[in-house]
Amino acid sequence: MLNIDKETFKSDYIQKFIEIHGKDLEEGTDYNKYEALASLIRDYVAKMWIDTNKRYKENKSKQVYYFSMEFLLGRLLGSNLLNLGINDLCREGLNELGIDLTKLEYLEEDQGLGNGGLGRLAACFLDSMASLGISGHGCGIRYKHGFFNQKIINFSQVEVPDDWLKRGNLWEIKKSDKARIVKFGGEVKVEYIDGNLKFHHVNYEKVQAVPYDMPIVGYKNNVVNTLRLWSAEPLSNEFDFSSFNRGDFKKAMEYKDSVEAISQVLYPDDSFYEGKLLRLKQEYFFVSAGIQSIIHHFKSTGGNIKELDEKIAIHMNDTHPTLAVPELMRILVDEEGIGWDNAWRMTNNIMSYTNHTILAEALEKWPVDMFKKLLPRIFMIIQEIDRRFCEGLRNKYPGQWDKINKMQIINGGFVKMANLAIVGSHSVNGVAKLHTEILKKQEMSDFYYCYPNKFNNKTNGITHRRWLMIANPQLTELLKKTIGDSFITHPTDMINFQKFAKDSGVQEELKRIKNRNKKKLADYIYKVQGIRVDEESMFDVQVKRLHAYKRQTLNCIRIMDLYNRLLDNPNLDIVPRTFIFAGKSAPGYYLAKDIITLINTVANKINNDNRVNKKIKVVFMENYRVSLAETIIPAADLSEQISTTTKEASGTSNMKFMMNGAVTIATLDGANVEIRDEVGDDNIVIFGLTEREVLNYYKNGGYNSQKLINNDDRIKKIINSLIDGTYSKDTNKFKSIYQNLVTYNDEFFVIKDFYSYLEAQKKVDDLYRNTSRWQEMCAVNIAHSGIFSSDRTIKEYATGIWGSKCMYENLQ
């Protein structure tokens, strides 16, 4: 914890301001003031950072490296102030200087280097590792452009590039002296020396990987870990200067552009794999640079390479970093001269892998021809891994060719990344109990029966520091007042709040807090979208990536149905609701984009219809991102977690909502199941097909959406309104959605679950009308949310997978 007093802070701040801006504080813009504050905080952090690294070196503690293509950090000023323990002090100090800290915090650009769940999970994990005193660091890519900004124009999504670095990033430090070379293309020459094969990679193209380090501050524990993000930069001596001098700029520029392209932009695909060469380049680029730098650091701090697997652990966040397996083998075998068997044993001990989705279209597989050309030596190593693996399989399963083919790493002209990740790791985990069971029994069953001990579950979590303490300070205060502050370092202590669930004073306070958060959101909605919403209405929220399996369509068609019913019967007795949506679609995912257009079109119609707009309003909030989530989630009454059962691996917004005292309406999918187990059936509203039913339909058929629609006038009316001009004169506009539900037999059972969903929504209305009962439910949800802190998850990873220790006893 940083030890400074307010006066010192104030004078440091003024000094810093003058130093970086060369003018007086009074002359500065708000952004100047933000810059001075962030720079000062970075200075404060710097010493702790150095000390932490010294301690790690002295204690020879095992280092964990979390490899991820994505880190969705959001804003950092607030979380750094909180974790340093100087939030209040800074707020007061700045106040005395006439500066509003909150205003400065809002000026920070979100660091949006991730798509959704997987990237945000990585960010929560970094926060928890540092806060638990685990020597765990992130390794990823410093994309020049993060996830695109979403604008809604004419009711539809338009993508605008994210230029988050335009004013610089005050949290990073460029470490040019730690740059590494990553090799692409070329050929491999084989030599036979003293009875051993030697491999020489020649004629390759060199790409320079330059690290930018960011401090990851632990909560009041003097720990600062590192997030190292790699940027691709051309090497000046790789330019063909002779051609440059001859005026052939083109060639030189081509090299420069092709290198810079590697870290230019984050792929905006979520759960959808495209076999793009540039993506494969990105994957090898950061993994190779990361592993090289780990080995270099290990050796330069006196480590013996033969003990590498006792001293480091590398975690692969989904299959995107799987080339870490052959890259580590390459370095151990080709560069360190370690024999294959030993290198393989060590690699296996070091690597672990998390699967985040069972969707078939998300499985990465690279065409062999493309792979071989880009990474010739890595390809050879994978071939050798595969050869040995299949030899083992043939002994174990003689004659079972189907099984062996399915498990093979290189098969059917593709390199299958999940197979490589499983074979190369000592641990494979799913992200919620149900998801892990599905992996074991269905998607990865062959591997599970082959290596039952590798498979384990680690239910996801969220950092309660950002998602409760920063996002909802008033609720945090209420918890401190009622149960003390032990929950901050021991989040499962939140269970003590259960005692207050029926306390009318606490219930009233909970309602007051929610109302304040709702007012804040309502003001924001009015400010940015010009829509006035009723703060007294129930805020019914679905915010997440747009995806057919997440079923924003189900939510939307029940709103269309409600609209029909209100028009039929203006006195219909319902709880007034504001339906809030937000989320981005992948730019090439046309169905998801059409769903956004539909929601906005329905919103426009309903919001402008005076017959109904006192009772219901629909808002699609533009540009969903971490900072917006921090405003929306604490204001939600109802959390929509309505994916088709079996499809959502875990979900993590479900945990964020619960922690902020929203009630969940959910299918028994992903971590919803565990939330239900925690809070009990009385404190969550469950609907829809079960896992068994869904899997049975997928396996044996028997579902016919057309029949259901044709036999039901109410459903028929809604579905037809997609194409009969009710919502758009252009009757083709929502045809893709219509066809999806009708012609293509509704892959995600929207129609099948429709009535069950309506019934559940009716139950929500009834519960909400009973204010005391509703507040009790909110309190129970808050009390049980502690187990979904990522501190719990990370402890499980540390003890169950990485074999690393928490440094601080009080956090055990």
Site string for ligand 26W, 659-698 (x = CB under 6 A): -----------x----------------------------
User: 271 vs 726, which CB is nearer to ligand 26W?
Assistant: 271
- Among residues 208, 348, 553, 652, the one that binds ligand 26W under rule CB under 6 A: 652
Which SS3 state, helix, strand or coil, does residue 457 take?
Answer: strand
User: Which of these segments, 93-101, 355-363, 472-480, 527-535, binds ligand 26W (CB under 6 A)?
Assistant: 355-363
* 320 is an active site residue: no
Tell me how long the chain is. 812
Q: Compute the least distance from the CB of residue 280 to ligand 26W, in Å.
A: 11
In the residue annotation, 544 being an active-site residue is answered as yes
Answer for which of 282, 288, 650, 785 binds ligand 26W (CB under 6 A) is 650
Tell me the number of residues near ligand 26W by CB under 6 A.
23
380 Cβ partners below 8 Å, 6+ apart? Answer: 188, 199
Q: How far is the CB of 61 from ligand 26W (least distance, A)?
A: 27
| Least spacing, CB of residue 456 vs ligand 26W, in Å | 15
Query: How far apart are the C-alpha atoms of 280 and 320, rounded to whole Å?
Result: 9
Assess whether 356 carries a catalytic annotation: yes
CB of 759 to ligand 26W, least distance (A): 25
Q: Would you count residue 784 as binding ligand 26W (CB under 6 A)?
A: no
Choosing from 226, 357, 627, 726, the residue that interacts with ligand 26W (CB under 6 A) is: 357
Output the smallest distance, CB 282 to ligand 26W, in A: 11
Q: Which residue has the tokens 């000094």?
A: 15
Question: Per-residue contact track with ligand 26W, 202 to 241, x per CB under 6 A?
Answer: ----------------------------------------
For ligand 26W, the closer of residues 319 and 683 by Cβ is 319
Least distance in angstroms from the C-beta of 668 to ligand 26W: 14
What whole-number distance in Å separates Cα of residue 135 and Cα of residue 804? Answer: 8
Question: Site map for ligand 26W, 136-175, x if CB under 6 A?
Answer: ----------------------------------------
- 269 touches ligand 26W (CB under 6 A): yes
From the list 652, 664, 667, 793, the catalytic residue is 652
Is the separation of the CB atoms in 45 and 76 below 8 Å? no
Q: Are 723 and 731 in contact (CB under 8 A)?
A: yes
d(CA 425, CA 309): 12
Residues 128/130/135/137 CA torsion (nearest 10 deg): 80
Least distance from C-beta 380 to ligand 26W, angstroms?
Answer: 24
**Alpha helix (H) residue ranges in 429-583:** 433-438, 445-450, 464, 473-483, 486-489, 504-529, 552-568
Which of 108, 172, 648, 746 forms a contact with ligand 26W (CB under 6 A)? 648
Q: Are strands 663-666 and 685-686 parallel, antiparallel or unpaired?
A: parallel
DSSP 8-state code for residue 97: T
Q: Which of 478, 346, 325 is nearest to 416 (CA)?
A: 325
Q: Which is nearer to ligand 26W, 627 or 652 (CB)?
A: 652
144 labelled catalytic:
no
Binding mask 607-646 for ligand 26W (x = CB under 6 A): ----------------------------------------
Q: Which of 356, 454, 464, 466 is catalytic?
A: 356
**CA 255 distance to own-chain centroid:** 33
- Residue from 78, 117, 136, 491 in contact with ligand 26W (CB under 6 A): 117
431 binds ligand 26W (CB under 6 A): yes
**Could you tell me which stretch among 116-124, 228-236, 335-343, 436-444 binds ligand 26W (CB under 6 A)?**
116-124
Q: What are phi and psi of 156, to 5 degrees?
A: -120, 160
State which residue has the least CB distance to ligand 26W: 117
Of 108, 109, 172, 270, the one binding ligand 26W (CB under 6 A) is 270
Comparing CB distances to ligand 26W, the nearer of 652 and 721 is 652
State yes or no: residue 273 binds ligand 26W (CB under 6 A).
yes
74 with 111: CB under 8 angstroms? Answer: yes
The CB density around residue 702, as the number of other CB atoms within 10 Å, is 7
Name the nearest CA neighbour of 792 among 36, 132, 34: 132
Nearest CB to ligand 26W, comparing residues 436 and 460: 460
Q: Which of these segments, 267-275, 322-330, 373-381, 592-600, binds ligand 26W (CB under 6 A)?
A: 267-275
| Interacting residue with ligand 26W among 419, 427, 457, 460 (CB under 6 A) | 460
Pick 63 or 585: Cβ nearer ligand 26W = 585
| Residue of 333, 426, 385, 316 lying closest to 66 (CA atoms) | 316
> Which region, judged by CB under 6 A, interacts with ligand 26W, from 129-137, 269-277, 292-300, 658-666?
269-277
For residue 546, the one-letter residue type is: L
CB 657 within 8 A of CB 685: no
259 and 182 Cβ atoms separated by less than 8 Å: no
The angle that helices 6-21 and 87-96 make with each other, rounded to 10 degrees, is 70
CB of 462 to ligand 26W, least distance (A): 10
> Which lies closer to ligand 26W via its Cβ, residue 287 or residue 331?
287
Q: Mark the segment that binds ligand 26W (CB under 6 A) among 190-198, 322-330, 356-364, 672-680.
A: 356-364
The correct pick among 37, 90, 118, 316 for binding ligand 26W (CB under 6 A) is: 118
- Rounded CA separation 30/26 (Å): 10
Beta carbon of residue 534, minimum distance to ligand 26W (angstroms, whole number) = 32
* Active-site position among 377, 454, 465, 545: 545
The answer to the question of residue 271 lying near ligand 26W (CB under 6 A) is yes
Nearer to ligand 26W, 358 or 741 (CB): 358
C-alpha distances (whole Å) from 447 to each of 316, 381, 384, 453 are: 18, 21, 19, 10
Specify the residue for token string 């892959």.
747
Print burial letters for 170-194: b (CB count within 10 Å at least 16), e (below 16): bbbeeeeebbbebbbebebeeeeee
Q: Which is nearer to ligand 26W, 431 or 494 (CB)?
A: 431
Least Cβ distance, residue 421 to ligand 26W (angstroms): 12
| CA–CA gap between residue 38 and residue 41 (Å, rounded) | 5
Is residue 364 part of the contact set for ligand 26W (CB under 6 A)? Answer: yes
Helix (H, G, I), strand (E, B) or coil at 539: strand
Distance of CA 740 to the CA centre of its chain: 28
Interior/surface letters 586-619, b for 16+ CB within 10 angstroms, e for the rest = beebeebbbbbbbbbbbbebbbeeeebbebbbbb
Reference 83, options 215, 269, 191, 279; nearest CA is 215
Does the footprint of ligand 26W cover residue 461 (CB under 6 A)?
no
**Binding status of residue 71 toward ligand 26W by CB under 6 A:** no
Q: Is 214 helix (H, G, I), strand (E, B) or coil?
A: strand
286 HSE (CA, 13 A, CB side): 32
Q: Give the active site residue among 281, 514, 550, 577.
A: 550
Q: d(Cα 323, Cα 280) in Å, to the nearest integer? A: 9
Burial 42-69 (b: 16+ CB within 10 A, else e): bebbeebbeebbeebeeeebbbbbbbbb
Active site annotation includes 550: yes
Query: CA–CA separation, 483 vs 570, rounded Å?
Result: 46
The one catalytic residue among 377, 547, 656, 784: 656
Compare residues 425 and 600 and give the one whose CB is closer to ligand 26W.
425
Which residues in 275-334 contact ligand 26W (CB under 6 A)? 318
Beta 414-416 vs 410-411: how paired, if at all? antiparallel
Kindly list the catalytic residues.
356, 544-545, 550, 652, 656
Q: List residues binding ligand 26W (CB under 6 A).
A: 115-118, 121, 269-273, 318, 356-357, 362, 364, 431, 460, 648-652, 670
